[in-house]
A and B are shown apart, each in its own frame.
Chain A
Amino acid sequence: DAGITQSPRHKVTETGTPVTLRCHQTENHRYMYWYRQDPGHGLRLIHYSYGVKDTDKGEVSDGYSVSRSKTEDFLLTLESATSSQTSVYFCAISQGQGLGQPQHFGDGTRLSIL
């Protein structure tokens, strides 16, 4: 879907361990986003990128960092995972922002922190 690949698709890890999720796109879109989806909260923005090496925080950025060294890859890192970070994580891309430029999503990574 829309040339977005998230990896891994599923991961189980322990509290305190570092975790990195990868989003890879083949669309050459400028913008990339990381969201988390939890019951009762809907999709919440963690971080986003508006170009190579250009990133900014979203609504729920605490405990997460991101990097974008290439147009096609956007990495999300949990430096020291906590149980509250158990969630489904979605990557999205868009050509631009706002009017007429919708975000397109990958199929998600289900992350469990034990």
Chain B
Amino acid sequence: GESVGLHLPTLSVQEGDNSIINCAYSNSASDYFIWYKQESGKGPQFIIDIRSNMDKRQGQRVTVLLNKTVKHLSLQIAATQPGDSAVYFCAENRVGSQGNLIFGKGTKLSVKP
């Protein structure tokens, strides 16, 4: 079935390096994508979003890239810090889903000091 998925369930990076978290989606009708960060014992925290008519969007230390040709979404974190250690989820809004999001299963990012 169609789903939002992630290439890697875990990612370990050195403090100060850049991190790239990937997400594949299969529904070409999706028009809006969101990245969330979830720390242990807490709810998902909104990081950044992007509309399907955009290829790239930047926030503070984060960049989201959208490649509609291959249905791929990525989150880049610059100068990764220990506080970035968390599980990261992508979510998509499918046209016709009444605005309800479909979430991926998450990638765990571990930052080594």
Contacts and interface: CB of A to CB of B under 8 A. Distances in A.
A99 B32 contact: yes
Contacts of B93: 97-99
B43 A106 contact: yes
A103 B103 contact: no
Contacts of A105: 36, 43-45
B103 A43 contact: yes
Interface residues of B, number: 23
A43 B32 contact: no
Contacts of B43: 1, 4, 90, 92, 105-108
17 contacts: A4-B43, A31-B99, A43-B44, A43-B103, A44-B103, A45-B100, A45-B101, A58-B100, A92-B43, A96-B99, A97-B98, A98-B93, A99-B32, A100-B49, A101-B99, A102-B49, A108-B43
Given A58-B100, A90-B44, 9 more contacts: A40-B105, A41-B105, A90-B43, A97-B98, A98-B32, A98-B99, A102-B34, A107-B42, A107-B43
Interface of A: 1, 4, 31, 33, 40-45, 48, 56, 58, 90, 92, 94, 96-108
